[in-house]
């Protein structure tokens, strides 16, 4: 594995992860459907997980891979809470379009 | 270290007590448990030690901040019994989530490893998402929860990316090792990008100006008790953690970075105070006031090395005044539809004690002498002048004058206007909480030497 990393170069992994992360960021900023926004947040987190694993191999150090487990568990908890909030919004508004959420202004 | 174990165990016990059908006793039990945790925490004062392979590092900084967090949590949780009286069957959930949130807060100021920092910030944020949306039949609460969730997890993603780049540059998550490496070797560019991303994420969490737009909406929509947690406890947790991150990782900030923090600080104070002037809703007004106070607290970052005690004093003074103010607001708006200022008309004649408590809390936030708020601002301004940043002090003084405007709007409504409708008798618990918080604030103001050199 270390050998493959030497041939490809760590920079390319960083570029790939930055691109994936940016796709996630733009998804959060531009999409209006709450489920797709959640997916975009997951893309952001998973781009980072991929980079953690790449760095972990690059440094020959297992800590990075262990961190990925933490961040996966946290992401799962986060999305569970987000979906619960979304369900209660759907019960009140019958819609999951986040443009409908504009009661609070000032 | 035992603090974290006790608090987490207490949260689990809260959930178990519901199974045993012991709902009435949950709040007193939790308060007693948190008092024990407070005693255990203070007992660690003076200790300097790492636990679990340096995952948790106990030092005076973490002890001082954990203690004030626990005090605030005790004050806030003791109000839950009355606040959730309509949903008393679920009281254990509300209390347990607050206790778990406190565990996250303690983990955030006593981390010695970036993974512990990440877990702490996520435990705190996820608990707050739930609390913000906890009034699930109310569309406004749903909206607040959703907005907070989206922007909070967006910020978490940015923080995670920052941690990842720092790990990539250093090959370790340990703060002490990172600090050592960052002052010696030639560093890859990723390290600095990582620091910038962490900064952006933390500025989101403390609601400083370019990243503040979520705060007013979320504060207004959330249930009032959650708003009081977010504007006192969660705000100073984020500030303290940001401070600890910066001191831990690059003790010598570059001048360019200090100017960025300085502009963020000036922009936060100015925008927060000017927007607060035109708010009619008290929760929204206090949200903008919180943005302004975040700006003041960022002044402590200008000379990082020896500003920990100044920052602690300001954070404690602000948070205690905030709890006192919110306790009165919770009581006044107990059965009201909204939290607008006209609800306070004539309050001074009906309940002089509570009106005096609210006045004291607002005066402390505005920085009027005798209250701790004044000495906190004084210490912070002195610190910034000594660090050589006169510009920010001038801006802060002008802003303090502006802020008197909106704090007095509420005080004038209480004392000079006539009441719209008869106000019922105040609930004793709110008076007690407001009085304790304000007395602690006053004690800090009268005897600053007791707490000035804690850290």
In the predicted model, is pLDDT for residue B185 greater than 70?
no
pLDDT band at A6 (very low <50, low <70, confident <90, very high): confident
Q: Nearest residue of B to residue A77 by CA position? A: B126
Kindly state the DSSP code that residue B234 receives in the 8-state scheme: I
Beta carbons of B306 and B234 less than 8 angstroms apart: no
pLDDT band at B89 (very low <50, low <70, confident <90, very high): confident
**Angstrom distance (rounded) from CA B262 to CA B389:** 9
Distance of CA B6 to the CA centre of its chain: 22
> Which chain B residues in 234-293 lie under 8 Å from chain A, judged by CB atoms?
279, 281, 284
- Say how many Å lie between the first and final Cα of chain A, rounded: 55
Q: Nearest residue of B to residue A93 by CA position? A: B139
- Say how many Å lie between the first and final Cα of chain B, rounded: 18
Q: What is the pLDDT of residue B258?
A: 86
Q: Which of A10, A81, A92 sits opposite B126 (nearest CB)?
A: A81
- Distance, in angstroms, between A15 CA and closest chain B CA? 12
- Distance, in angstroms, between B215 CA and closest chain A CA? 11
> pLDDT per residue over B293-313, tens digit each?
999 999 988 877 778 889 999
User: Are residues A14 and B164, on separate chains, in Cβ contact within 8 Å?
Assistant: no
Q: Which of A48, A78, A89 sits opposite B153 (nearest CB)?
A: A78
What domains, with CATH codes, occur in chain A? 2-98 (1.10.287.3510)
Q: Which of A52, A61, A92 sits opposite B142 (nearest CB)?
A: A92
User: Are residues B140 and A85, on separate chains, in Cβ contact within 8 Å?
Assistant: no
Distance of CA B378 to the CA centre of its chain: 20
> pLDDT per residue over B19-50, tens digit each?
888 888 899 999 999 999 999 999 988 888 88
Assessment of whether the complete model's pTM goes beyond 0.90: yes
The full DSSP string for B382-407 is: HHHHHTT-HHHHHHHHHHHHHHHHHH
Count chain A–chain B contacts defined by CB atoms under 8 A. 124
Q: Is B168 on the interface with A (CB under 8 A)?
A: yes
> Which chain B residues in 79-138 lie under 8 Å from chain A, judged by CB atoms?
115, 118-119, 122, 126, 129-130, 133, 136-137
**Angstrom distance (rounded) from CA B353 to CA B347:** 10
Q: Give the mutation candidate from A85, A87, A99 for the B interface (greatest B CB count, under 10 A).
A: A85
- A chain contacts of residue B168, beta-carbon cutoff 8 Å: 10, 14, 51, 55, 58-59
User: Of B145-154, B282-291, B421-430, which gets the smallest average pLDDT?
Assistant: B421-430
Q: Which of B115, B122, B164 sits opposite A51 (nearest CB)?
A: B164
In the predicted model, is pLDDT for residue B364 greater than 70?
yes
**Angstrom distance (rounded) from CA A22 to CA B422:** 56
Residue among B118, B106, B102, B267 at smallest CA distance from B198 = B118
Q: What is the pLDDT of residue B312?
A: 93
User: Of A32-36, B124-128, B188-192, which gets the smallest average pLDDT?
Assistant: B188-192
- A chain contacts of residue B406, beta-carbon cutoff 8 Å: none
Q: Which of B118, B156, B284 sits opposite A106 (nearest CB)?
A: B284
Tokens 């997980």 label which residue? A49
Compute φ and ψ for B111, nearest 5 degrees.
-75, 150
In the predicted model, is pLDDT for residue B251 greater than 70?
no
Q: Nearest residue of B to residue A35 by CA position? A: B150
């Amino acid at each position: 594995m270390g050998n493959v990393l030497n041939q490809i170069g760590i920079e390319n992994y960083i570029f790939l992860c930055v691109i994936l992360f940016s796709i996630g960021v733009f998804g959060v900023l531009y999409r209006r459907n709450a489920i797709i926004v959640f997916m975009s947040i997951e893309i952001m987190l998973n781009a980072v997980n991929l980079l953690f694993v790449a760095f972990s191999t690059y440094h020959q150090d297992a800590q990075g891979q262990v961190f990925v487990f933490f961040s996966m568990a946290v992401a799962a908890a986060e999305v569970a809470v987000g979906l619960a909030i979304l369900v209660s919004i759907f019960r009140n508004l019958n819609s999951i379009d986040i443009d409908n959420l504009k009661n609070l202004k000032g | 270290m035992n603090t974290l174990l006790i608090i987490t165990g207490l949260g689990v016990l809260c959930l178990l007590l519901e199974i045993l059908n012991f709902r009435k006793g949950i709040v007193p039990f939790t308060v007693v448990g948190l008092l024990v945790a407070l005693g255990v925490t203070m007992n660690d004062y003076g200790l300097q030690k790492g636990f679990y392979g340096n995952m948790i590092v106990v030092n005076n900084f973490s002890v001082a901040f954990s203690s004030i967090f626990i005090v605030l949590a005790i004050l806030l949780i003791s109000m839950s019994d009355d606040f959730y009286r309509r949903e008393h069957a679920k009281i254990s959930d509300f209390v347990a989530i607050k206790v778990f949130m406190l565990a996250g807060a303690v983990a955030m100021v006593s981390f010695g490893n970036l993974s512990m920092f990440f877990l702490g910030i996520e435990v705190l944020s996820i608990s707050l998402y739930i609390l913000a949306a906890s009034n699930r039949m109310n569309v406004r609460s749903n909206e607040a929860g959703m907005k907070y969730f989206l922007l909070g997890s967006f910020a978490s993603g940015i923080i995670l990316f920052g941690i990842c780049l720092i790990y990539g540059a250093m090959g370790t998550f340990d703060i002490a090792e990172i600090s050592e490496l960052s002052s010696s070797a030639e560093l890859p560019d990723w390290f600095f990008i990582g620091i910038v991303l962490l900064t952006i994420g933390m500025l989101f969490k403390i609601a400083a100006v370019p990243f503040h737009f979520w705060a007013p909406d979320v504060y207004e929509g959330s249930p009032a008790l959650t708003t009081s947690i977010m504007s006192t406890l969660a705000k100073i947790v984020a500030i303290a953690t940001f401070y600890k991150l910066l001191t831990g990782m690059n003790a010598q900030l570059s001048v360019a970075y200090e100017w960025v923090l300085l502009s963020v600080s000036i922009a936060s104070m100015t925008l927060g105070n000017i927007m607060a002037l035109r708010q009619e809703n008290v929760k929204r007004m206090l949200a903008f006031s919180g943005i302004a106070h975040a700006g003041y607290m960022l002044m402590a970052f200008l000379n990082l090395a020896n500003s920990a005690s100044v920052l602690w004093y300001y954070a404690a003074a602000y948070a205690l005044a905030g709890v006192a103010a919110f306790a009165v607001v919770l009581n006044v708006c107990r059965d009201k539809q909204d939290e607008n200022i006209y609800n306070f008309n004539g309050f001074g004649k009906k309940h002089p004690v509570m009106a005096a408590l609210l006045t004291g809390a607002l005066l402390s936030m505005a920085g009027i002498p005798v209250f701790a708020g004044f000495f906190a601002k004084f210490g912070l301004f002195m610190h910034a002048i000594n660090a050589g940043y006169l510009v920010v002090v001038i801006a802060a003084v002008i802003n303090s004058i502006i802020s008197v405007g909106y704090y007095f709007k509420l005080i004038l409504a209480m004392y000079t206007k006539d009441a719209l409708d008869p106000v019922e008798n105040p609930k004793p618990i709110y008076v007690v909480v407001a009085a304790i918080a304000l007395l602690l604030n006053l004690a800090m103001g009268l005897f600053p030497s007791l707490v000035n050199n804690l850290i």
